[in-house]
């Protein structure tokens, strides 16, 4: 059933778990994610990131994603991930997305508030939930994120608890992406999370569901600590999307005769489904 993210996160708050927000850039990935969620009887957030537009145009993906969500046996939201321009966000709204991430973290605090509030007001008038970001999320992905200023560490981008509370109050967002040690993409080094900062953020925002991006490479123990600290949505993509490439060379070499693309796709779907199952099960927070 198709719902908005706000409903999913409110339920997650009561159950002390996190909902997986998973980007799906193809029909193969959509099947993998939805089958995993339904087999585990867990809600899921199907996400489309603006940066994936060259590979998965939103006009093509949105109707397919919405069809999956509407027919789903579990609650499912249709979420725009990292909407960085107003025009693209409006396009997602016109295509039936039920949840929007307004990503204006690269701007000054004042401009981030102004732009995010504008989107939030529009979304709320349409019963669509909004996710904001305060505290920029670093990235190991080429072309994403700003470089660190000289002499600064990752802490430069971390969320400031008191300002985060002000941001939520002034924008009215339904959930907030916070930065305290996770990064987008593949982790080059073992992540060191600032759980004291997460605790302080939650103390300043006791009623606001928190969101983390870069959930793929976190350990099970750190993931559970994040959830117990108030995180209610965790984005997951990189490690699922990269898994087929690790195993495809051996699969191709061991296959005799002609190898069709649909066979490669099916092999990849099964691998990504297992990764999605792992994440959704882990986020259920039943150690």
Q: Are 180 and 158 in contact (CB under 8 A)?
A: yes
Q: Which residues are catalytic?
A: 81
pLDDT in tens, 50-80: 999 999 999 999 999 999 999 999 999 999 9
Q: Are 81 and 50 in contact (CB under 8 A)?
A: yes
pLDDT of amino acid 284: 94
Q: Are 217 and 239 in contact (CB under 8 A)?
A: yes
Q: Quote the longest CA-to-CA distance of the chain.
A: 62
Cα–Cα distance, 74 to 97 (Å, whole number): 17
Give 207's Cβ-side CA count (13 Å radius).
Answer: 4
pLDDT of amino acid 142: 41
DSSP state at residue 184? B
DSSP state at residue 158? S
Cα angle for residues 4, 65, 3 (degrees, 5° grid): 15
Range of the domain at 123: 2-283
pLDDT of amino acid 213: 87
Cα angle for residues 287, 193, 212 (degrees, 5° grid): 75
Q: Are 236 and 19 in contact (CB under 8 A)?
A: no
Cα–Cα distance, 106 to 133 (Å, whole number): 9
pTM (two decimals): 0.91
Strand partners, 3: 77
Q: How many domains does the chain have?
A: 1
Query: Which tokens sit at 18?
Result: 């996190």
pLDDT of amino acid 129: 97
Q: Are 215 and 234 in contact (CB under 8 A)?
A: yes
CATH code where residue 231 lies:
3.20.20.70
pLDDT in tens, 219-269: 899 999 999 999 999 999 988 999 999 999 999 999 988 999 999 999 999
In this prediction, the residues of the chain whose per-residue pLDDT falls under 50 are 140-144
- Collapse the DSSP code of 32 into the 3-class scheme (helix H, G, I; strand E, B; otherwise coil) and give the result: helix
Q: Which residues contact 200 (CB under 8 A, 6 or more apart)?
A: 161
pLDDT of amino acid 151: 59
Cα–Cα distance, 18 to 191 (Å, whole number): 19
Residue 47, phi then psi, degrees to nearest 5: -120, 145
pLDDT of amino acid 152: 61
């Amino acid at each position: 059933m198709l719902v908005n993210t706000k409903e999913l996160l409110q339920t997650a708050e009561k159950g002390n778990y996190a909902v997986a927000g998973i980007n799906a850039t193809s029909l193969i990935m959509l099947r993998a994610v939805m089958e995993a969620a339904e087999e585990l009887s867990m809600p899921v957030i199907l996400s489309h990131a603006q940066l994936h537009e060259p590979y998965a145009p939103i006009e093509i993906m949105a109707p397919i994603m919405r069809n999956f969500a509407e027919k789903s046996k579990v609650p499912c939201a249709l979420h725009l991930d990292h909407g960085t321009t107003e025009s693209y966000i409006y396009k997602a709204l016109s295509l039936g997305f039920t949840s929007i991430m307004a990503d204006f973290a690269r701007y000054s605090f004042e401009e981030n508030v102004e732009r995010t509030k504008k989107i939030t007001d529009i979304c709320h008038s349409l019963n669509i939930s909004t996710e904001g970001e305060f505290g920029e999320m670093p990235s190991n992905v080429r072309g994403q994120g700003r470089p660190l200023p000289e002499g600064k560490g990752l802490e430069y981008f971390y969320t400031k608890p008191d300002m985060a509370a002000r941001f939520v109050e002034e924008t009215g967002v339904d959930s907030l992406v916070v930065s305290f040690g996770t990064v987008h993409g593949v982790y080059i080094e073992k992540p060191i999370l600032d759980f004291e900062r997460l605790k302080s953020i939650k103390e300043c925002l006791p009623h606001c569901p928190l969101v983390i991006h870069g959930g793929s490479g976190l350990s099970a123990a750190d993931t559970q600590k994040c959830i117990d600290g108030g995180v209610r949505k965790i984005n997951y993509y990189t490690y699922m999307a990269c898994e087929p490439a690790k195993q495809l060379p051996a699969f191709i070499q061991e296959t005799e005769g002609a190898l069709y693309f649909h066979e490669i796709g099916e092999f990849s779907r099964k691998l990504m489904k297992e990764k999605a199952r792992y994440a959704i099960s882990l986020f259920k927070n039943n150690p």
